[in-house]
Chains A and B, each alone.
Chain A
Amino acid sequence: MARILTHLERLEAESIHILREVVAEADRPVMLYSVGKDSAVMLHLARKAFYPSPPPFPLLHVDTTWKFRAMYDLRDRMARESGMELLVYKNPDAEARGINPFDHGALHTDMWKTEGLKQALDLYGFDAAFGGARRDEEKSRAKERIFSFRTASHGWDPKNQRPELWHLYNAKKAKGESIRIFPISNWTELDIWQYIHLNDIPIVPLYFSAPRPTVERDGMLLMVDDDRFPLAPGEVPVERSIRFRTLGCYPLTGAVESTAATLPQVIQEMLLTTTSERQGRAIDKDAGGAGMEKKKQEGYF
């Protein structure tokens, strides 16, 4: 008679509960949608949480204009399929100044993503924003609550977090303050892949290996996704069989050489690999070991 729920069933139920609590208690929720695999799972969970209604909040994509083209394609498709409103925000200041990852380094992330996100939240007056961060990703994430409070200026104070007991979340806040909510906090990379596999969730094809034009920069294998990529005189991109473990701005995201072309193969490769998924992300290496903690205090997701 008694049935034991599997770990994925328990994680799914917990995430759905979190999504519904926020919708019930917040005034203007929004889902930060980055088009990656974690966003894909979070969006799928939202569709399950409110079925047969569409999720009662919009999707917000804070665009840097430097994402992979395949990401823009999937983004527009998923917005159509879910019946949700898609808001795309680009920091006008970054756009006017032509901020890009090739010339501006850390400033690129700061202006397009951190500042862009803050501007978008302020512009629309969102008081609760879902994000797809997981606690197994990075050390400061492991210490963040599921409901993470931000001051009116979007700052995070790791030493002043509210205790979170049982499944009771305190969503009360003063005017101007906001909450970032991480419904998939307790999922691991393997859980995400397995859930995508079991639920047949659409993801960006770049996660699967294929022959793609690449160049090497600072030990990273980068994909030449469009003609904005500055090549050295005489340099010709090399076609390699590659795929991506995480997706961000294409000039900042390192590929791995791989032949994994199906989901089980991707999972197999992940389980046998010896490096962590964020290893290909330049963003974590800024400001030494405390890179993400510092960014979060400044308002980054």
Chain B
Amino acid sequence: MTDPIYKTDALIAEDIDAYLIQHQHKSLLRFITCGSVDDGKSTLIGRLLYDSKMIFEDQLAALEADSKRVGTQGQEIDFALLVDGLAAEREQGITIDVAYRFFSTENRKFIVADTPGHEQYTRNMVTGASTADLAVILIDARKGILTQTRRHSYLAHLIGIRNIVLAVNKMDLVDYSQSVFDQIVADYTAFAEGIGITAFTPLPISGFKGDNITAPSANTPWYSGPTLMAHLETVEVDVTADQAKPFRMPVQWVNRPNLDFRGFSGLIASGTIKPGDAVRVLPSGKTSTVSKIVTMDGELDAAIAGQSVTLCFADEVDCSRGDVIAIAENPPQVADQFEATIVWMDDDAMHVGRSYWLKLGTQMVSATVQAPKYTVNVNTMEHLAAKTLELNAIGVAEIATDKPIVFEPYADNHTLGGLILIDKITNRTVAAGMLNFSLRRAQNVHWQATDIGREEHARLKNQTPRVLWFTGLSGSGKSTIANEVEKSLNLMNRHTFLLDGDNVRHGLNKDLGFTEADRIENIRRVGEMAKLMADAGLIVLTAFISPFRAERELVRSLLPEGEFIEIFVDTPLEVAEARDVKGLYKKARSGALKNFTGIDSPYEPPEHPEIRVNTVEMTPVEAAEHIIRKIMPLK
């Protein structure tokens, strides 16, 4: 057992006030540990906590009892049990989620993210890495570099961690062999260069036995470098780098306690700011001057990256949550199309063209992702062609947002370049993304203002535009009912147009098939076309299965409030299948037709349609009359 040099520092007992002042000035290092299953991550962290005396007697007593009961180290203390917190993982002897640990030495406070090695939990590793200054990559000396080692090294580098420690663990099981260590370091060097890691610190250790953790080991006389703890305590972390960059602060909240005070609260992402500095609010581009920096501890002369503050301006300038306050002469860019590197984190693969929430800084917008340009094979760094991104895939793709956002490339600014995608239906965080650059296309295509707008078009036709969106299973009666509705509207001198699923696929969408991605693109195009027709003043009827809620909601969001009328043609599958007007169900059941809605592709019924028609109880004409009654008047 190593010497307990890290806690009971004499100062605590002798002069607590002096100790407190010293502790108050400690810096902070956040790091992650990653490696493959059984590389001994949990054991290493347990060891760091134990050797820095962060484990109390009652915890140690519980640990000793647990070690004997469920430990994997015989009668010896199993440090892994300290950190494998959940009952589920203790039973299975694995780590299933990222866990955060804390310890401190005389010079630093440490926050450790313990990230699991199982491939299916790579998303947790990315989560842990996103806030880390340093990564400890563990290798089992007996096994050398594995797939997971490459994946984790690549991810750590991708997330922007510049300090990498290669901890060659379990040296006790290879007789502390220098040649084993040297070979692993050589192998890793060759791999690391290939992905752009230019420097790393290799260390021979044993988390279980304690070699080179807090004290130099007598078992590795051939190693003269620092111990792991000594390295963590002294490694230079570039904490001041963000301060040297131009000032940026995403606005979180507008503080208005009364009419005399209006402040903008946020966490400073980069740079420094002081009263009198000229600032620009983006995306509007309006400028003002900082009049004061307000905190409860008094007004500040200056504030720096990493501080949470409230800024007041000299003038009344429009500024709200989602805006970015930047130094006036050097503002960030604004764009709506980007190339991004995306790590997919959800069990449901990415849907090309689907609308997701995109959160970047404090901005929340709708965004769609194109098919990836390529995905990265993390073992070989090869670029592979792919149609989508599955769980744990890393790919490069174009992202388009529904309105311009303020951004910087991730390499320049993690706050304004790092994003998450959120599924609009499940609300899950499905991906993390890093913006590489904006596409010139977005900078060069501008909206052309025209003099005759949608109001003028509609007024001439003496009607209010509508999109009557019929959705339902194949054979439910969408086209038949839509046709009846259009006939009635025509008799009433309304200007209409019926977009039918089958007909559109003969022309505009004849390049699309029936995969999930193609179905989404099909509906996106129809939605955009329906919007153009509504802008032209028409009452548009569409008859498409449109099986996914997310795409129907996307079309709704394209139109002014109230113009999108979702009509659910509610026909049970048995009834539609029994009708089988086109013989498609029969083909689908026999396997001759793939991806058929209701059979081997899902249909998501509307939750709150504006109109529902039941075709079991109503004839098509009755259904049409019901719809007409609901949508009148149309002026």
Contacts and interface: CB of A to CB of B under 8 A. Distances in A.
Interface in A1-30: 2-14, 16-17, 20-21, 23-24
Contact of B130 (A16, A166, A172): A166
A2 B23 CA distance: 20
16 contacts: A4-B27, A21-B252, A24-B362, A49-B265, A52-B263, A136-B101, A143-B98, A158-B96, A163-B124, A165-B126, A165-B127, A166-B131, A170-B420, A264-B16, A268-B13, A274-B57
A24 to B, nearest CB: 5
A186 B306 contact: no
A158 B97 contact: yes
Contacts of A258: none
Contacts, number: 201
Given A4-B240, A142-B99, A165 B308 contact: no
Nearest to A5: B306
B267 A293 contact: no
Interface stretch (A31-39, A97-105, A190-198, A207-215): A190-198
A191 B84 CA distance: 24
Contact of B100 (A185, A290, A293): A185
Given A52-B294, A166-B130, A272-B12, A13 B432 contact: no
Given A4-B240, A163-B123, A290 B87 contact: yes
Interface in A153-177: 158-159, 161-168, 170, 172-174
A293 B143 CA distance: 35
A6 B8 CA distance: 22
Contacts of A54: 257
Interface residues of A, number: 71
Interface stretch (B58-66, B380-388, B585-593): B58-66
Contacts of B308: 12-14, 16-17, 20, 49
Interface stretch (B166-174, B193-201, B421-429, B520-528): B421-429
Interface string B125-165: 01100110000000000000000000000000000000000
A132 to B, nearest CB: 16
Contacts of A165: 126-127, 130-131, 418, 420, 429, 432
B267 A17 contact: yes
A267 B429 CA distance: 40
B307 A9 contact: yes
Given A194-B24, A272-B12, A273-B56, A161 B252 contact: no
A8 B23 CA distance: 10
B345 A10 contact: no
Interface in A116-148: 135-136, 138-140, 142-143
B294 A142 contact: no
Contacts of A49: 265, 308
5 tightest A-B contacts by CB?
A139-B85, A290-B87, A2-B240, A16-B308, A7-B28
Contacts of B100: 135, 142, 185-186
B111 interface: yes
